Chain A
């Protein structure tokens, strides 16, 4: 399946290679570099590139291209999904997945890659198993290791791989038993010029951080499970139970994991929490343009809209922008033409606004499209779909765990066309 893996950084250098079968020469990446050159944006590199003898499937994350070399027919999503798993694992181990982090931990990276694939076929991708095999590097452990000469490789062999619950390691012990669940919803929306919603949908996830001793069996039930239209589960969730009773029943993995991701049925009207008043105009013949933007809260169920960040790709003809924010700070990058405005919290009494003028290239014709505005925001303590967790129960263990549920709504791909 997967023959080799090359890691390519933003400047087009291969900084790590790993082969699972016989060695494939680096020169195979030339085809990738060709495609990279042809692409205007880094994102525009096609994920699947055919070459005369190999196929290159690449994934771009954290400004690193993960280029997998394969030789014969394989479902491309198989490879893509796996590469993303690799990145997730790196992130899990090193906190960040950057070139520097990978270079610093090259041995751990190699050990991980060795365990994750056997002959190009995924072997252990579950983070719990990997952590039993190879201990994640921490500052403390590095210090201890250098003093005592002990190693990062787990002494005992992983039992998880052999068990019926491969995602959970055995013999977990905590003094404080706690289980936290974050219900995070994202609104994807396109708002048109006049402020009406073209499309809006809610995607949600439940991320969990479970630190419980032993082999707890948890059930999580919702007040209104009907809201969930389409769901995908962590493998630990018992599907039949969900089908029959709409209850999530599972033996959780140890640590952080994504329990569930869901889609709220599109029949429900989506409440849009912010509105934007905008007036962006360019006059023909003049080298000046006007820029006015005002944000306001719309349907927020009384909660505050926080961490608001507005960004917009201004037309190429714009040379500079001279703007005046009523709150927060703005930056304009004259090279990429990216305007971003860090608003912070929206105060309903005093709406934040950004006003000013743009200077255009002299003689250039008026841009024919107004820029799209992307908005990010967060609303704490609110799941915009109205989803509510009813209760969380634990079976199989005797102690009383500490339980916590947090709700949050975020903007996903929230765009306003102007």
Chain B
């Protein structure tokens, strides 16, 4: 991924140059434009102005160009007013964009508003502002960085895509979670601007998904949903973390995360509904046998995946959220994921939402309607909450009616019907009609009340309102179809009412009923037909069609009485205006009137026309809505919306659960000392749960429990992946586990084999080795790509520094120049170099045969001279910062940097090992670089082998050892080339004069008790709040001094041990936390060193920041 970054950077630089050049040109051209425009305007003035708005804008332009802040602000306010009204203010763009770098915050913000609105239309001019944002992206204030990124990414100008991409990548590794959140937002913007960036963006998303900040979680999941919702594999490792963070994420993020997790869970867990849901309310006796069989089949009882349970448990408290969207999201999650018997907990919360605004009610009622079809039981106790009030909006009323109908059963139907009676009388006639339909549905669903309902509906036939009557007729028709035989009196009654009914649908319904059941009403039907024949011409089409139908049916059953009438009607129909009716008439005539032409068909006329018809099924309009995920737009509209993501069915067999296990990577798990006690890999699962319980209690104290549990290792949020790599490599260099040791030796063997190989080959192998030593999730190819990219990144750095083009792939160390943002990559470079195989070994094969890490392994085995219980260990923390030894200006092109490796020195027991990076920034090769024999001070120095030749722009890393004799006095020596001699000095920090050791806690206290009195120095300090966690204390201490961490049984006491390099005397450090104070105690014979160390610890622990 860093390959992308590097190339992008190049691209971005290029683009910027182009953009700036073109912008400059534009400015020039623009100026001339102005003048011509002004001329035009002056001309207009003379001819009398017609264009008022243009002049208004001219005013604004003048105001913007004035030097007064207040005038500019006033102008911007008026412009924003124009934008708000939807007026076009784009012609002011050049004048506005000049103020983008204004000091006045409000002015600046308004310019941003303007810029984002019009940048798309004025792409070239918009580029003028880019450099301002780029500068702001480097601002020390996180909020300014964030807002710069926000605006930059909102400018929808395709040409700046590479710049945006680069900014996003950099921001995604920012120390501030707020900036990272902004980066997550920017991902979506960039994706919509240029979908081709998808692959790069997914990488950023992947990185941000690992973020442990609650601020970032919601936004990055949103980006995930937008960019790559199908990449479910990215979620695995973060699933538990997301579940645990959920409560603390801001409410909008919660909604998005819950929806995503619902989809995720449906693909990863097996159905919890196996026993009940398959045979829920629709189950019949007939299924009984098969159910039995099935039970036998599923001899294994269903056990819910603990991760599934985790999700359900962690979302439950959110049902109490004040945000209705969150409550709805949790409800749908339970609906789609929870076992049936746990579903009831969402009912109350959903009913509570009905107190909210009208629009909220609407959506919630829709969802309840869908739910209530499948599970009446859930909402039945709350039936009265769905009673309709006269003040409800019509669509709310209809939805409530729908739910009441769904809830109706034998027990409550009488209550519901009584309630319906009041609704039927409602002044809202649309609602009354809907009620009648609802009554019809109740009547069909519950056979006990069919008769009652029917009678009630018949009474409604005498209602004064037409719509009510019509609706009743239609419903009665449907009801009668289900049981026609007993109801001839109702049909008769309807025939009587026929004259009074004017609504065509109702008339048609009655006619159809007459025809269908003409045998039940043999006397009345012909009479109705007679009346219809009279009014035929003035009827609606639908009524005419039914009249023709009735005539045909009567002709077939009772031709004696109706033959003439039928013929009359058919004749009328034959000349009707509507071709539908003419067609139908012709068809019917052919069918029923036997003549020589009609063939076999007329014989079957009776069977065709009088066939028994299946009764219509009255069912809920929400019957099929459950195909959509609840709470979604698609569900609300009952049609698939753009970008709707289908909820998959449960898998039959659960996919591998172990994908969600996050390996525990510990930064300080060194030398058999389980430092934090908490973070044992085996325990990690439990830790998740128990911690989530505590989280809330402790959240405002910013406790560390969450950090340490949720996955072990991070030093702090701020350190990004590169740090993790270093953790890995540190760990691998430890002497802890056998397997690792094996790997180590293997690696070293490889390393040695590699030496004669060509550079390229080495790189590949190196990366492969690295991949091996890393967690199994990362493939070798990935690491190799990252390696190469980091290289190109550093190339670019040196490029920008020296200004010359440098294409040689010489694994050059970056030249010292540190914008904050590039630091991370640099770390990576140096890490790769140092820990897996020293570049010294690569470039100068002669210098060292043993790698330091191997040496530490060997040392770990040997018994240290100090005490039997004490074991030297490898360093807990190796600082990456290197210091300047020789500047390239003073060194005539040769520059040198040094860094403490914190490894035991291979050249001598009392030496401190150092790593020197020499680089040649001149344009000619340097020859014979070495350290001169004579040393000005008395220190014993082990020199590195002379470097015969250093090519221009190349650099080389060598190691050397210095015996500082346990003092911080600087080591002075001469660095020589063939021509020159430079005197340099290395001033060691006191902490570097130590070597870490491990011992048991008991030994520690024993040793400590020996070193009291004079040998003990202590100080009390006030800790900054961010330092109080055990991890940060550990980190601070080990970064100051090369000490080993001693496991402590007491939470609030941290112990560290080391020995001085030369004399080997013990240095014991303990930090006792007494909120908010801390007592640092140092026990050592070397009191000078103790006081120096104490001072450094004080500053480190009281300062914030990493």
Contact = CB atoms under 8 A, between A and B. Distances in A.
Interface stretch (B382-390, B617-625, B675-683): B382-390
Contacts, number: 251
B389 A415 contact: yes
Contact of A413 (B142, B259, B389): B389
B667 interface: no
A417 B422 contact: yes
Interface stretch (A109-117, A274-282, A323-331): A109-117
Nearest to B70: A149
Interface string A91-126: 000000000000000110111001000110111010
Contact of B189 (A18, A84, A119, A232): A119
Nearest to A265: B348
Nearest to B105: A153
B1014 to A, nearest CB: 42
Contact of A119 (B83, B120, B154, B642): B154
Contacts of A230: 348-349, 351-352
A114 B252 contact: no
A316 B320 CA distance: 43
B188 A368 contact: no
Contacts of B381: 266
Contact of B322 (A77, A118, A261): A261
Given A55-B633, A162-B178, A231-B320, A44 B80 contact: no
B403 interface: no
B84 A240 contact: no
B360 A368 contact: no
Contacts of B142: 162
A159 B105 CA distance: 16
A48 interface: yes
Given A73-B644, A122-B252, A155-B105, A203 B355 contact: yes
Interface in A224-238: 229-235, 238
A62 interface: no
A258 interface: yes
B359 A80 contact: yes
B322 A151 contact: no
Contacts of A47: 358-359, 362-363
A75 interface: yes
Interface residues of B, number: 105
A65 to B, nearest CB: 11
Interface stretch (B391-399, B1072-1080, B1095-1103): B391-399
Interface stretch (B334-342, B695-703, B707-715): B695-703
Nearest to A149: B70
Interface string A154-173: 11011001101110000000
B464 A75 contact: no
A76 to B, nearest CB: 5
Nearest to A118: B185
A233 B425 contact: no
Interface in B54-112: 69-70, 73, 77, 80-81, 83-86, 104-107, 109-110, 112
A149 B69 CA distance: 8
Interface in B483-508: none
Contacts of B393: 41, 43-44
A46 interface: yes
A257 B796 CA distance: 53
Interface in A365-389: 365, 367-369, 372, 374
A230 B464 CA distance: 45
A320 interface: no
Given A16-B85, A23-B120, A121-B185, A75 B80 contact: no
Contact of A16 (B84, B107, B633): B84
A352 interface: no
Contacts of A155: 105
B426 interface: yes
A319 interface: no
Interface residues of A, number: 100
B117 interface: yes
Interface in B359-379: 359-360, 362-364
B184 to A, nearest CB: 9
B322 A369 contact: no
A76 B382 CA distance: 24
A176 interface: no
Interface in B702-740: 702
Nearest to B382: A266
B321 interface: yes
A58 B357 CA distance: 12
A346 interface: no
B601 interface: no
Interface stretch (B325-333, B547-555, B798-806, B904-912): B325-333
Given A75-B325, A110-B80, A198 B637 contact: no
Nearest to B154: A119
Most buried by A among B351, B465, B642: B642
Nearest to A49: B637
A203 B385 CA distance: 12
Given A21-B192, A111-B109, A240-B696, A48 B86 contact: no
Nearest to A126: B250
B48 interface: no
Contacts of B351: 230, 263
Contacts of B636: 48, 76
A61 B86 CA distance: 22
Contacts of A123: 185
A48 B633 contact: yes
A180 interface: no
A121 B81 contact: no
Given A233-B320, A368-B425, A417-B422, A198 B384 contact: yes
Nearest to B419: A198
A17 B81 CA distance: 10
A77 B352 contact: no
12 contacts: A21-B156, A21-B189, A44-B395, A75-B632, A107-B80, A114-B112, A114-B113, A125-B251, A157-B143, A162-B176, A232-B321, A415-B390
Interface of A: 1, 14-19, 21-23, 26, 40-41, 43-44, 46-48, 50, 55, 57-61, 70-78, 80-84, 106-107, 109-111, 114, 118-119, 121-123, 125, 149, 151-155, 157-158, 161-162, 164-166, 188, 190, 192, 198-199, 201, 203, 229-235, 238-241, 243, 251, 258, 261, 263, 266, 313, 315-316, 365, 367-369, 372, 374, 413, 415, 417
Given A232-B321, A234-B322, 14 more contacts: A26-B86, A43-B358, A76-B636, A80-B360, A106-B80, A122-B252, A152-B106, A153-B105, A153-B106, A162-B177, A238-B696, A266-B381, A315-B427, A368-B425
Going nearest first, the 3 A-B pairs with the smallest beta carbon separation are A72-B643, A151-B106, A199-B384
